[in-house]
Structure 1
Amino acid sequence: MTISACVEWLFKDEHAELPDRIRAAKAAGLGGVEFHLWRDKPIDAIKVALDETGLPLTSFCVDPRRSLVDPAQHDEFLGAVTDTIETAKRLGRPPLIVASGFIREGVDLAEQRAEAVKVLRKAAALAEAAGITLLLEPLNTIVSHPGMYLSSTTLALDIIEEVGSDHLRLLYDVFHSHVMGEDMEAVLRGRIHLVHHIQFADDPGRSEPGTGTIDWPATVATLRGLGYQGAFGLEYLPTLPSAESIAQTRAATGL
């Protein structure tokens, strides 16, 4: 299984420039890289580093972030998807991450879900035309993202099924799911085919595996048992120099 470094955080202390972090990930023997938003990034230099190393991008975010549940933001969201797709075409057509936006207080949750489904169908059509996959990511509301509409993996998978496009899939973040108290095997059983990418960070702390309370050998074994064969993104805040952090992650997870 491919291990991908989130170079937003990994290799940051060793290399100020993101393209050099991509080169460092290659030197560390990792199989891919990912980052967050793109508008503040040197895209031309990133393309050079990706071409030079041969590493694929495993994901980055639709930028700017806009709400799925608020129809007043839908035009801006679809514009962000269109712009991000054009950037993604230059970088190997990686999957693109979207989050839901915040709950609209006083608005029925079913109405908010319907708005998300409606705009995601339009976004998925744009992605399909470009040969790109969108990744819907639930985020925890307890530690990191209070007020976020989509914090449930089950709801995210329900929305993906309702949208009904092969170009919309789930980004499952073990940290966010664990914070929300989800039973990983229960929420993913029978639906692992809808999961395109998985990210790792321990809980508490959102640092490398082995620093918190998550049982990582059991987590990896469960994901393999469910049939997941995609990449694992190391999207955590390292507490050690990057090479040591990655070594600890490998030891903790068995990857």
Structure 2
Amino acid sequence: MSATYPLSSCIEWQFTDAGDLAERLRAAKAAGLELAEFHLWRDKPIDAVAEALAETGMRLTGVCVDPRRSIVDPAERAEMVTAVRETIEATEKLGKPALIVASGFRVEGLSEDEHFANAVAALREAADVAEEAGVTLLLEPLNTRLFSAMYLVSTKLGLDLIEAVDSPNLRLLYDVWHSAVMGEDIAEVLAGRIHLVAHVQVADMDDRHEPGTGTVDWAKVMTTLKDLGYAGSLGLEYFPTLPMDESLALTAKTLAKIGG
């Protein structure tokens, strides 16, 4: 695939006609991709995925910490850190991919300062585990359209948390679609802190389909990423509306746009 950045297929939602995740990896490789990602792992054929990765030379850019537990609720902190530890152990055979962490929901009765302090404490414990294992954690802000009570729905807040934890193994996953749903301006929210962003995911507005099917200004997005110095890959976390070969072609063409 030719694009400004390497593309990573979300095989949770793409190449579904191929079969299970292992077969989707093979299909993605046949389509010209070198990178892939998926969500939760406990219900997936991890051994078969490991075999497919070894066979194809594909690399995973991200897997979600499973089970999902809150970083803001002290009652779930131990379970959250345990989930990080177990996910690291389970995915070691997959090449130690980055592990995606969401915040969980707001806790009734807690102030903003208390939410922030609890999140920093939980992420610090998780980062200690990640540092020891040599794995990167990716903190992902989501949006209130999908999750009305989600705590972390702001890119700036996510970056503030990462700065407060101050671990080289905790970075941000910036999702263009979640950010657009929240009405954020990419240049404003990432300014001066692109070094804290380790992965970017893309999908178009409004309905989370492939870039080129909606209203996102992709020339602005791509120019901003380039100008800020982003040097990672782009995760294709979208629901395709076209056959995958056509979907990837449209996506690559759209993401190659650079504004003036």
Measured against the shorter chain, the TM-score band is over 0.9
TM-score by length of 2: 0.96
Give the match for residue 154 of structure 1. Answer: 156
SS class of match (1:50):
helix
Whether the 8 Å CA contact 2:204–2:212 is kept in 1: the answer is yes
Q: Does residue 105 of structure 2 align to residue 111 of structure 1?
A: no
How much identity, in percent, do the aligned residues show? Answer: 59
Structure 2 letter corresponding to 1:4? S
1:228 corresponds to which of 227, 230, 244: 230
Query: Which one is further off, 241-250 or 152-161?
Result: 241-250
Q: Does residue 29 of structure 2 align to residue 19 of structure 1?
A: no
Give the match for residue 167 of structure 1. Answer: 169
2:241 corresponds to which of 239, 242, 249: 239
Structure 1 letter corresponding to 2:50? K
Give the match for residue 4 of structure 1. Answer: 8
SS class of match (2:8):
strand
Separation (CA, whole Å) in 1 of partners of 2:205 and 2:224: 18
Separation (CA, whole Å) in 1 of partners of 2:34 and 2:194: 22
Structure 1 letter corresponding to 2:197? V
Whether the 8 Å CA contact 2:34–2:57 is kept in 1: the answer is no
Give the match for residue 102 of structure 2. Answer: 99
TM-score by length of 1: 0.97
Separation (CA, whole Å) in 1 of partners of 2:92 and 2:21: 19
Whether the 8 Å CA contact 2:172–2:198 is kept in 1: the answer is yes
Give the match for residue 202 of structure 1. Answer: 204
Structure 1 letter corresponding to 2:180? H
1:180 corresponds to which of 176, 179, 182: 182
Question: Where do 5+ consecutive residues of structure 1 fail to align?
Answer: none
1:130 corresponds to which of 110, 129, 133: 133
Separation (CA, whole Å) in 1 of partners of 2:180 and 2:150: 16
Separation (CA, whole Å) in 2 of partners of 1:163 and 1:126: 13
Question: Where do 5+ consecutive residues of structure 2 fail to align?
Answer: none
Q: For residues 109-141 of structure 1, give each alpha carbon's deviation from its aligned partner in whole angstroms, at most 9, with x where no partner exists.
A: 110110010010010010000000000000011
Name the Cα RMSD after superposition: 0.9
Give the match for residue 213 of structure 2. Answer: 211
Separation (CA, whole Å) in 2 of partners of 1:15 and 1:146: 34
SS class of match (1:107):
coil
Q: For residues 23-60 of structure 1, give each alpha carbon's deviation from its aligned partner in whole angstroms, at most 9, with x where no partner exists.
A: 11111111200000000000000000000110110001
